[in-house]
Amino acid sequence: MIPRLRIAALVLASSTLIAGPALTTIQDVLYKADGTRFNGSLSISWNSFQAADNSTIVTQSTVVKVVDGVLRVQLAPTTTATPPVNYSVTYTSDGRVQFQETWSVPSSTSPLRIRDVRLASEPATVGGAVSNDTSGSPIPESSVVGLIADLGARPLKGVGFASGKVAVVDGSGMLSSATGSDSDCVHVDGSSGPCGSGKSASFFDGEVPAGIVDGGNGLFGLTAAPDPVSSLAVYRNGILQKATFDYNLTGSTIQFVAAATPQPGDTLLASYRTSPDGDAGPQTYSAPQVLCSGTGTATSSISLAPIGTCYVPAGILHPGDRLEIRFDAAHPGTSSGFSVEVQWGSTVAIHRDSAASDSLVTGRLDASILPSSAQLSTQSWGSVLPFTASVASAADSYSEGLTIGFVGMVVQPNDSVTLTNFMVLRIP
């Protein structure tokens, strides 16, 4: 009899251990707003907690099917759980998530409806745990995991910080404010200055190299020295020329090889860029730039007629530049006198009237380029013609290009005067 009693006691104890926690039934009929019944599923998930009867509930989730609106599910109560937790419920229908809500399930021996367990709003959390404090009092910073460390890692305001200014990080890692005028630009190092103050590279596109295209001249000048040198692209009649094969570059001077010398009628274009500091001060050139050079023509006209021309394209001359112009003329006959003249745009820079016995005349002209005009100083003399010098100003604009003309005339039509040589040089 005694063994049977012991067996009965063991069976009773075992059934008590596997009985599981008491569950609360949630039972309801779900409808959609149009009155039709809800069909879909509810995904219910929870974190680990200990039920009121000390049963350990592990983190997991379950999916409950809802057919024709009928919902029935049994869950362990959470209002008496340790620590306090809630169920997260996701409603899925028509192949997508419709909405989410939170349930707080109390202990109940009779079935509850969803309205009995649904929370009106999400509970406050502190460090991942549910807070029962509904008073609205502030949460201490020390209660938020990682907040103090995160706040310490952020930049702090320094003594130079001011509202309404661009914020920069100073040398000590503090937030400061950029200084300067409202129209200044802020550089990457936090400093400021006038916009376009030499901090960026300059680009020259489609520039016409200065120099006469006569089949004999191979030297042509650029406005500035390309930097890097590889940025230079030279086109002759639209065909890209190859460096060292067709030309060589020295500073801002292009020297074409003999086989590639531009011929009369050819068109030259150059594109390049200069260094970021290229426009921070006066322009510098590594060598003088020959803008024009060559021989002129003869005339037997008894009125002033062209015997040589140098056209300086727009964009070549800049304030601070200086030009040196030289010319030589010959008078082979002796039957009459003659005249020669150098014109700077519409301004007569040099005019000399020579006697019949003068066989040679030469002249020099220096031009200093001003913001919108030029100052000219001249010298000229001949084999008999006395030396003379002058200084004058020329108001001719050079921004759209400038023509430097050489003209001559004779007194008798059976005589002639010839421009034997001329050169226009920009001095570095």
Measured at the alpha carbon of residue 84, what is the angle toward residues 79 and 86, in degrees to the nearest 5?
Answer: 70
Burial of residue 298, with CB atoms counted within 10 A of its CB: 0-12 exposed, 13-18 middle, 19 or more buried: middle
- The 10s digit of each residue's pLDDT in 155-173 is 788 777 777 788 888 777 7
Q: What one-character-per-residue DSSP string does 333-352 give?
A: --SS-EEEEEEETTEEEEEE
Average pLDDT per consecutive 10 residues, the chain (428 residues; last block may be shorter): 55 55 93 93 94 90 94 93 91 90 93 91 46 56 76 77 80 79 76 62 84 91 88 92 93 92 93 67 57 91 94 82 93 91 95 93 93 92 93 89 94 93 85
Q: Go through the domains of the chain in sequence order and give each one's CATH number.
A: 23-126 (2.60.40), 202-285 (no CATH), 290-427 (2.60.120)
Question: Which amino acid, one-letter code, is at 45?
Answer: S
What pLDDT score does 307 carry? 95
Please give the sequence-ordered ranges of beta strands (E in DSSP) within 30-174, or none if there are none. 40-46, 49-50, 56-57, 60-66, 70-75, 87-93, 96-103, 125-126, 129-130, 167-169
pTM of the predicted model as reported, rounded to 2 decimal places: 0.39
Alpha-carbon distance 170 to 152, whole Å?
17
What pLDDT score does 286 carry? 46
What pLDDT score does 278 carry? 45
Q: Nearest 5°: phi and psi at 161?
A: -80, 135
Alpha-carbon distance 119 to 101, whole Å?
7
Among candidate residues 212, 124, 174, 183, the one with its CA nearest the CA of residue 406: 212
Element (H, E) at 147: helix 147-153
Three-state secondary structure call for residue 9 = helix
What pLDDT score does 137 carry? 59
What pLDDT score does 38 carry? 94
- For CA atoms 248, 254, 257, 263, the dihedral sign is positive
Among candidate residues 314, 382, 375, 298, the one with its CA nearest the CA of residue 344: 375
